[in-house]
A and B are shown apart, each in its own frame.
Chain A
Amino acid sequence: MTLLLDVVTTAGVLFTVAMGLLVVFGVLKIINFAHGAFLTVGGYAALVTTKFGVSAWLAWPLAFASGGVLGVVVERLVVRPLYARPLDAILATWGLGIVISQVITLWFGREVQFAQSPLSGTVAILGDTYSLYRLTLLGVSVGLGLIFAGLIEGTRLGLAARAVIMNEDLARGLGIDTRRVRLLTFVIGCGLAALAGALITPLSSVDPNMGVPWLINAFMLVMVAGASFFSLALASLILGGAQVVVSTFVSPILGGMTIVLFAAVVLRLRPAGFGRD
């Protein structure tokens, strides 16, 4: 039972972290390798709320806002010139990640610091006790997934985004302001990344490089998932579950590379991954 909860909550965390990257990859067709740095920004936003003694719940909107604002600047300066060069976009955003983490280091110092969790303690569930915060995170990731799925399906921006995903030239030809769609999508993706960072810090710690390990796993999940939230959720569940199972029954170290290995093999056998062709 604990194993099942571990699997599901891990999948939830992975989904939350990867969502922002998926949004950007789906619409803009580029990989934002600064995603890890945005996670870090969100983590430090949570730290700031702890330092100021404000309620830890405020960390969430603060993180989303910080990520979004930074995203606007990044899109204009770094990402926009590179839409036609996706491999170079990976490199440039990786460089950006370095810059962001160094700025954070200069500002906050290099030590590992800790943010307060808004919730603590355990709860009795299904005959066992389990971490309340982890369960809450699961709920949050499901909620976020539903919100964004709703946004995509139900709003005009979502419709425009879907059009751009399917055929950008046609969308532009039909009068959709693809530039604005890209900008908004990128900003939302960065905001989501920062929010995810704030969500995960209570589980571990805050340091300038906390985003990097998450970046790789999120990247692999997005590659495997294709362009829909549903397939991302599926990928998070399956690959995240594999990670937990391997960590529990084999070794936590090998568990750490399960997602990466699994994803590479899946992509080799089925380039569309879990998505629809």
Chain B
Amino acid sequence: MVSSVMGAALLVATGPLILDTYSVSILVRAFLYALAALTVDVLWGYTGILTFGQAAYFGIGAYAAALIFTHVGFDWSTILLAAGLAIVAPALAGLVVGWLSFYPGSTPLYASVVSLAFPIVVTQMIFSGGTFSGSSSGLVGYEVFDLSIEAWFRIVGGVLLLAAGAAYMFVNSEMGRLLVAIRDNEMRCAYLGIDAPRVKILLTAALATIAGLAGFGYANFSGVVAPEIAGFVFGTELVIYVALGGRGTLVGPLAGTVLIDTASSYLSGDLPYVWQLIVGLVFIVVIVALPNGFTPLFSRLWRAIIGRRGRPRHLAVVLESPRMDAATTTATLEIVGVAKSFGSLKVLQDITLSVVDGELVSLVGPNGAGKTTLLRCISDGRERSSGTVRVNGEDIQGLPPNRVARLGLGRKFQTAAVFESLTVAECLRIAGVLRYRPSLTRPLHVLHLPEAARAVVETTGLVNVLSRQARLLPHGQKQALELAMVLALEPKIVLLDEPTAGLTSAERRRIGHILTELASRHRLAVILVEHDLDFVREISSRVVVLHQGRILLDGPVDEVVGSRLIRDIYAGSSHD
């Protein structure tokens, strides 16, 4: 990393001395495009938002400058005005586009659709501006800074380096890891109390500003703005540069943009169509066969040459002191008359039960009885068809999962939902963002964990693999990690969906012990869905039997487990 920064800085400083004027001016333009490509990479490579729309913000920034310089004039006040507009207008546009694209329940496809529609709308608006905006002709001949091409090269190159450095710091910071978490598993984030749509909207607005500033630079450097620079074809080119360079690497998109754009400028005179054809073909091949682009290939080669150099990060796991208000707040979950139907299919009917702290309630019943649906109705305020659910005294009517989670409810999923690309420590850090705001600049180096979570981490051996990527964990440890993440949220009520599925008997015993401790020592209200009746009998304080969407039995363990009704249901003998 350091070596590439040094190399880049050297290029910026000496470039104008060794290259001819034409090359230098081409590179300035390429640098500006690379700045825009950087924003695409942060959005797509790191956060998983495929966007064709960054060109629109670039264009808005460029036109802000051109319009003001053309119609108002060129002096210090207008320069400041134009720069301000180039920051504010894209940010506002980004907020609007973000609001339109990201909401609970939106799909990535829809977000991409909006990101495609936006540059079209912007170019059409430019066309409709007639002589004011220059329409098809664009705006030309407005006054700009009187700088030499070499000076531009150094300024733009320097800005690009700074931006790249800031981006590097950002994506390695805790906030950057949060973005990856959102990309990997947005649902898990929601159930950890994270308002992912809000994060994405703010991110879009911030990156829109950067793209807008790149556009501002472009308008000043080239002295010409035309509708094409705000269009979706340009937006798609940025995506192509990022894809070929290597999404999610920062360096890849930068190098990719500069190399491809420069090559295009040189070759477009001599073999324009063949070059485009080649780029298109390589692009298809990369998407189909090499989705991570060329940078990972090169870095593997590089590492093979210079020898691997691992830098284990030193992590301190800090134990959090017990909460002062543990005694006064009690956990309560009240479910009254909840029902859920899909059209005419009634999945749940007339569910009424209450759980308080210290209880360990097992929810049992054959497949299709509605157990997972019930968990969904408890954790997502929009899910049920009728009835009331109160979490710690608050009615969850209409609340999306992240708001319910903030009321003190944690949910663990049946298939371990962790963040595959993050390390164990990072997963746990993300789980605690409600309590500890993520840093925008510093990478993870201290992990605060509440006692319950720490207990899980230590007893299951996760403490030894804090730097390992979550996707590499064996199944049992993934389950444990997810449980620890849920506990890091410091919930008062915990919902667990088949926590023992796929575990060895040793792991099962450990989990059972942990769950019992959660209820008895940490005074949480624990509800689990379980099939393993022996496990249920061992650890539960209470059992609720669900059958065909209704509660059949609700009582202490011995009573229910021994009952004949249970045997009948599970054994499948006739019932009335």
| Chain A residues engaging chain B, CB cutoff 8 angstroms | 31, 78, 81-82, 85-88, 90-92, 94-96, 98-99, 102-103, 105-106, 110, 212, 216, 219-220, 223, 251, 253-254, 256-257, 260-261, 263-264, 267-268, 271
In whole angstroms, what is the CA distance A110 to B273 when docked?
A: 9
Q: How many A-B residue pairs have CB under 8 A?
A: 98
Stretch from B236-244, B253-261, B357-365, B566-574 contacting the other chain: B236-244
Name the CB-closest residue of B to A110: B273
In the complex the two chains form, is A87's CB within 8 Å of B121's CB?
no
In whole angstroms, what is the CA distance A263 to B284 when docked?
A: 29
Q: A102-B280, A271-B110 are in contact. Are A264 and B287 (CB under 8 A)?
A: no
List, in ascending order, chain A residues with CB within 8 A of B503's CB: none
In the complex the two chains form, is B109's CB within 8 Å of A86's CB?
yes
In the complex the two chains form, is B113's CB within 8 Å of A106's CB?
no
In the complex the two chains form, is A102's CB within 8 Å of B124's CB?
no
List, in ascending order, chain A residues with CB within 8 A of B239's CB: 91
In the complex the two chains form, is B117's CB within 8 Å of A98's CB?
no
State which residues 514-561 of B face A: CB under 8 Å: none
List, in ascending order, chain B residues with CB within 8 A of A82's CB: 287-288
- Out of B100, B109, B283, B289, name the residue touching A268 (CB < 8 Å): B100
- Out of A81, A223, A254, A260, name the residue touching B288 (CB < 8 Å): A81
List, in ascending order, chain B residues with CB within 8 A of A102's CB: 273-274, 276-277, 280
In the complex the two chains form, is A78's CB within 8 Å of B284's CB?
yes
In the complex the two chains form, is A223's CB within 8 Å of B277's CB?
no
B262 contacts chain A at the CB level, 8 A cutoff: no
| CB of B55 to closest CB in A, whole Å | 14
| CB of B242 to closest CB in A, whole Å | 10
Name the CB-closest residue of A to B123: A257
In the complex the two chains form, is A99's CB within 8 Å of B124's CB?
no
Name the CB-closest residue of A to B127: A253
In the complex the two chains form, is B121's CB within 8 Å of A106's CB?
no
In the complex the two chains form, is B277's CB within 8 Å of A87's CB?
no
B385 contacts chain A at the CB level, 8 A cutoff: no
Name the CB-closest residue of A to B101: A268
| CB of A16 to closest CB in B, whole Å | 21
Q: A99-B277, A253-B127 are in contact. Are A87 and B120 (CB under 8 A)?
A: no
In the complex the two chains form, is A254's CB within 8 Å of B108's CB?
no
In the complex the two chains form, is B274's CB within 8 Å of A106's CB?
yes
List, in ascending order, chain A residues with CB within 8 A of B233's CB: 212
In whole angstroms, what is the CA distance A219 to B117 when docked?
A: 10
In whole angstroms, what is the CA distance A81 to B121 when docked?
A: 33
In whole angstroms, what is the CA distance A39 to B124 when docked?
A: 23
List, in ascending order, chain A residues with CB within 8 A of B114's CB: 264
| CB of A198 to closest CB in B, whole Å | 23
In the complex the two chains form, is A264's CB within 8 Å of B273's CB?
no
Number of B residues with CB within 8 Å of any CB on chain A: 39
In the complex the two chains form, is A254's CB within 8 Å of B276's CB?
no
- Out of A91, A219, A254, name the residue touching B124 (CB < 8 Å): A254
- Out of B108, B232, B274, B284, name the residue touching A87 (CB < 8 Å): B108
In whole angstroms, what is the CA distance A140 to B109 when docked?
A: 32
In whole angstroms, what is the CA distance A34 to B236 when docked?
A: 13
| CB of A227 to closest CB in B, whole Å | 14
In the complex the two chains form, is B109's CB within 8 Å of A87's CB?
yes
B105 contacts chain A at the CB level, 8 A cutoff: yes
In whole angstroms, what is the CA distance A211 to B109 when docked?
A: 22
In the complex the two chains form, is A95's CB within 8 Å of B277's CB?
no
In the complex the two chains form, is A105's CB within 8 Å of B273's CB?
yes
Name the CB-closest residue of A to B288: A81
Q: A271-B105, A271-B110 are in contact. Are A264 and B117 (CB under 8 A)?
A: yes
Q: Report which residue of B128, B279, B289 has the largest number of chain A beta carbons within 10 angstroms of its beta carbon.
A: B128
A-B pairs with beta carbons under 8 Å apart, 20 shown: A31-B109, A82-B287, A82-B288, A87-B109, A88-B288, A90-B50, A92-B284, A96-B280, A98-B276, A102-B277, A212-B233, A216-B120, A223-B113, A254-B124, A260-B120, A260-B121, A264-B100, A264-B117, A271-B107, A271-B110
B112 contacts chain A at the CB level, 8 A cutoff: yes
| CB of A192 to closest CB in B, whole Å | 22
In the complex the two chains form, is A98's CB within 8 Å of B279's CB?
yes
List, in ascending order, chain A residues with CB within 8 A of B240's CB: 95
List, in ascending order, chain A residues with CB within 8 A of B106's CB: 271
In the complex the two chains form, is A99's CB within 8 Å of B281's CB?
yes
Give me 12 other A-B pairs in contact (C-beta within 8 A), A216-B117, A264-B100 excluded.
A91-B50, A94-B236, A95-B240, A98-B277, A98-B279, A99-B281, A103-B277, A105-B273, A219-B113, A219-B116, A223-B110, A264-B114
